[in-house]
C-alpha cells in the first residue's frame, strides 16, 4: 500500500515538475521575444560598454526596486517640480548628463534657457519696465516708451534700485519667467490654466528677447547650454517674431532668421566641435488660412535665402484651442514639394477630436517627423503607418507632465513606443520654462520612469543615435561617425574613472 502511494506521489511530482518547466520556458520565451523587440535591442555592446552597462543598471535597479518597495518615495510618479533638482545630485543623472545625446530635434527657441538667465538679461542697459497688477511689461528703448501700460514706464535700473530691496525685487521678477511653483497640482488645475501661464511667460519675456542684440545673444547662449549638456546638433523651432533695435528699426521674420544664422555662425566659429543647427519655422496655428499662406511665403523666402539653414515648417500653440491642420490643406499641399513638414500633432488627451486627428493630417501631408504624437497610441493604423513610413515621433516626456497630459510618467505612451521599437526621438520642448536641463532631464526620466526595468545602455545609445538619424543634418554619416568617436571616449572615461 505504501509503495503504491509513493509511486503515485513521485508520478505527481514529476508531472508537476514537467508542467512547471513547460510554463517557465514559455513565459521566458514570450518575454524574450518582447525584449528582442524593444528599442536598442539590435545594439551589441563592446566589452567596455558592458562594464558601463553593469554600473548603470546597478544604479537604476537599486533605485527602482527601492521605489517598488516604498512607492511614496518613487520620484517619477510625482510632479516633475518635486524631484527635478534632487535627481541632479544622483550619480546616474550625472552620467546621463555626461553622455553624448546626439541632437535636440524638438525645442522652442525662447524656452531653452531658464528664469535665472532671463533675470540676468534684465540687468542690460536701456531696459524699461512697467508693472501692472498681475503683469510686467519689458521693453528696450532709447527713451521712455509710450506704449500702453496702466501704471508708468521706468528704467529697470531705477525701478530695481528704488525698490529698497534688490533681492526681493529680483525674486519677484523671476516669478514672471518660470512656471515652477510649490503647489502645481492646486494652482494648475486644468490644461487651459497651465497653458495660459505658459503662454504668458513667452509674451512677458518676448518683448525683451526680441530686442535684436538680446535675440542673437540668447540663441548663442542656448547653443552653449546645449553643448554643455552634451548635445551636438539642434533643430530649433521658432515663430520668427519681428525684432527691434534702439534706432527704431523693425526686422521682419526673414531678417529674424538671418539673425539666427549670424548667431549660429559666430557660435560655430567659437565652438567648432558643435555640429550645427537648423531652423524649423513654426508660426502660431490659431490664425486663418490667409495668415498661413503668408507664413508659407516667408518659409519659401527663408529657404531661398538660407537653403542650408531652413529644415522646414510647423505650426505651434495649444492644439486643442488652435486651428486643426486640415483647415489649411490647400495652402500646405501647395508648398509640400518645396518645404518639409515637421508638424506638432496629437498633443492632446481628447480622443477623436480634430486635434487628435491632426496626426492623420500630418501623415497624409508627408510630415518628416511628428511633434509629440502623444495621442497616436490610440490609433493602430497611424501607428502602423509611422513605422512603415519611418516618421519619427518627437517625444517630450517632461513637457507632457508639466502641461498636464499625463501625471505619472509610467503611464506615458512612450513606454509602449519603446517596447514596440517605434521610430522615437527624445526631446525637451521648453526646458527653460520648467527649469530643466536642455536635454538630460528628459533622457533621465525616460530611462528611470518610463522605460522597462530591463531597458539598459543599449536603449540610451539607440535614442541618441535616433536623434541624429531622424535629423536633417547635412553629412549624416560623418556626423554619426563623429558621435561614435565621442561615445567611445565617454565610455572609456567612465570605465577609467570607475564611476
Shortest Å, Cβ 346 to Zn ion: 12
> 156 vs 239, which CB is nearer to Zn ion?
239
Indicate the residue among 63 and 394 with the shorter CB distance to Zn ion.
Answer: 394
Tell me the C-alpha distance between 490 and 478, whole Å: 18
Instruction: Considering the candidates 372, 379, 412, 441, report the single residue annotated as catalytic.
Output: 372
Please say which residue, 109 or 429, places its beta carbon nearer to Zn ion.
429
* 319 interacts with Zn ion by CB under 5 A: no
Query: Residue 441 and residue 53: Cα distance in Å, rounded?
Result: 19
Instruction: Between 49 and 429, name the residue whose CB sits nearer to Zn ion.
Output: 429
Q: What share of the chain is helix, strand, coil (3-state, %, to 5)?
A: 55, 10, 30
Pairing of strands 233-238, 127-131: unpaired
Contact track, Zn ion, 477-496, x by CB under 5 A: --------------------
Measure the CA–CA gap between 198 and 195, rounded to whole angstroms: 5
Structure-block grid coordinates of residue 170:
529680483
Phi, psi angles (nearest 5°) of residue 365: -80, 0
CA-to-CA separations, 154 to 20, 56, 139, 140, in angstroms, rounded: 80, 53, 10, 11
Question: Is residue 372 flagged as an active site residue?
Answer: yes
3-state secondary structure 364-396: HCCCCEEEECHHHHHCHHHHHHHHHCCCEEEEC
Give the residue with the Cβ less far from Zn ion, 122 or 238.
Answer: 238
Nearest distance from C-beta of residue 22 to Zn ion, angstroms: 50
Q: Where are the alpha helices (DSSP H) in 452-498?
A: 457-469, 476-497
Q: How long is the chain? A: 499
Calpha distance 226→481 (Å, rounded): 20
Contact positions with Zn ion (CB under 5 A) in 170-199: none
**Which residues does residue 426 pair with via DSSP β-bridges, in sequence order?**
395
332 neighbors 308 (Cβ within 8 angstroms): no
Smallest distance, Zn ion to C-beta of residue 83, A: 23
With H, G, I as helix, E, B as strand and everything else as coil, classify residue 131: strand
By beta-carbon proximity to Zn ion, the closer residue of 340 and 429 is 429
Residue nearest to Zn ion (CB): 429
HSE, side-chain direction, 13 A CA sphere, residue 483: 25
Query: Distance between CA atoms of 391 and 15, rounded to whole angstroms?
Result: 51
Q: Minimal distance in Å, beta carbon 106 to Zn ion?
A: 6
Could you confirm whether 441 is annotated as catalytic? no
Pick the closer one to Zn ion by CB: 178 or 238. Answer: 238
Catalytic residue, chosen from 216, 347, 435, 437, is 347
Nearest to 346 by CA among 361, 365, 368: 361
Looking at residues 418 to 437 of the shown chain, list those that interact with Zn ion (rule: CB under 5 A).
Answer: 429
Min CB(394)–Zn ion separation in Å: 8
Residue 97: closest CA among 456, 398, 443: 443
* Min dist. Cβ of residue 144 to Zn ion (A): 36
Residue 320 CB, nearest approach to Zn ion (Å): 14
Q: How far is the CB of 442 from Zn ion (least distance, A)?
A: 12
List binders of Zn ion among 362-391 (CB under 5 A). none
Q: How far apart are CA 197 and CA 363, in angstroms?
A: 31
Q: Could you please report the per-residue DSSP string of 386-430? A: HHHTTPEEEE-HHHHHHTTS-SSGGGSTHHHHHHTT--EEE--BS
Nearer to Zn ion, 202 or 487 (CB): 202
**Catalytic (active-site) positions:** 347, 372
Instruction: Using CB under 5 A, list all residues that contact Zn ion.
Output: 429
Amino acid at each position: 500500500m505504501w509503495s503504491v502511494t509513493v509511486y503515485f506521489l513521485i508520478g505527481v511530482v514529476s508531472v508537476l515538475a514537467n508542467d512547471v518547466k513547460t510554463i517557465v520556458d514559455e513565459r521566458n520565451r514570450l518575454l524574450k521575444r518582447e525584449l528582442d523587440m524593444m528599442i536598442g535591442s539590435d545594439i551589441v555592446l563592446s566589452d567596455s560598454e558592458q562594464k558601463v552597462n553593469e554600473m548603470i543598471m546597478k544604479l537604476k535597479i537599486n533605485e527602482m526596486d527601492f521605489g517598488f518597495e516604498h512607492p511614496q518615495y518613487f520620484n517619477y510618479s510625482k510632479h516633475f517640480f518635486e524631484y527635478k533638482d534632487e535627481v541632479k545630485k544622483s550619480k546616474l543623472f550625472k552620467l546621463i548628463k555626461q553622455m553624448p545625446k546626439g541632437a535636440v530635434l524638438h525645442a522652442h527657441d525662447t524656452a531653452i534657457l531658464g528664469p535665472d538667465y532671463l533675470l540676468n538679461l534684465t540687468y542690460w542697459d536701456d531696459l524699461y519696465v512697467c508693472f501692472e497688477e498681475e503683469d510686467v511689461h519689458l521693453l528696450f528703448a532709447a527713451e521712455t516708451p509710450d506704449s500702453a501700460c496702466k501704471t508708468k514706464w521706468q528704467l529697470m535700473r531705477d525701478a530695481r534700485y528704488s525698490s529698497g530691496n534688490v533681492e526681493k525685487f529680483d525674486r519677484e521678477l523671476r516669478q514672471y519667467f518660470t512656471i515652477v511653483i510649490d503647489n502645481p497640482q492646486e494652482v494648475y488645475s486644468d490644461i487651459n490654466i497651465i497653458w495660459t501661464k505658459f503662454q504668458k511667460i513667452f509674451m512677458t519675456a518676448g518683448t525683451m528677447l526680441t530686442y535684436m542684440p538680446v535675440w542673437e545673444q540668447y540663441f548663442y547662449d542656448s547653443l552653449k547650454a546645449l553643448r554643455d549638456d552634451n548635445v551636438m546638433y539642434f533643430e530649433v523651432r521658432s515663430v520668427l517674431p519681428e525684432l527691434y533695435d534702439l534706432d527704431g528699426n523693425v526686422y521682419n521674420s526673414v531678417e529674424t532668421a538671418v539673425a539666427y544664422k549670424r548667431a549660429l555662425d559666430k557660435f560655430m566659429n567659437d565652438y567648432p566641435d558643435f555640429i550645427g543647427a537648423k531652423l524649423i519655422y513654426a508660426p502660431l496655428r490659431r490664425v486663418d488660412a490667409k495668415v498661413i499662406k503668408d507664413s508659407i511665403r516667408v518659409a519659401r523666402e527663408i529657404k531661398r535665402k538660407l537653403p542650408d539653414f531652413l529644415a522646414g515648417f510647423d505650426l505651434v500653440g495649444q492644439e486643442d484651442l488652435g486651428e486643426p491642420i486640415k483647415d489649411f490643406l490647400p495652402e500646405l499641399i501647395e508648398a509640400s514639394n518645396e518645404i518639409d513638414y515637421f508638424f506638432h500633432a496629437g498633443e492632446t488627451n481628447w480622443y477623436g477630436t480634430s486635434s487628435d486627428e491632426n496626426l492623420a493630417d500630418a501623415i497624409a501631408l508627408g510630415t518628416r517627423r511628428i511633434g509629440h504624437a502623444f495621442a497616436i497610441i490610440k490609433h493602430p493604423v497611424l501607428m502602423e503607418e509611422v513605422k512603415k513610413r519611418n516618421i519619427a515621433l518627437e517625444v517630450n516626456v517632461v513637457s507632457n507632465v508639466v502641461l498636464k497630459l499625463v501625471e505619472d510618467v509610467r503611464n506615458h505612451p512612450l513606454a509602449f513606443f519603446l517596447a514596440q521599437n517605434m521610430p522615437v526621438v527624445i526631446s525637451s520642448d521648453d526646458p527653460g520654462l520648467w527649469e530643466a536641463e536642455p536635454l538630460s532631464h528628459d533622457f533621465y526620466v525616460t530611462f528611470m520612469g518610463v522605460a522597462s526595468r530591463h531597458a539598459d545602455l543599449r536603449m540610451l545609445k539607440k535614442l541618441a543615435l535616433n536623434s541624429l538619424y531622424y535629423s536633417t543634418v547635412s553629412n549624416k554619416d560623418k556626423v554619426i561617425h563623429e558621435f561614435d568617436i565621442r561615445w567611445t571616449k565617454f565610455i572609456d572615461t567612465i570605465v577609467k574613472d570607475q564611476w
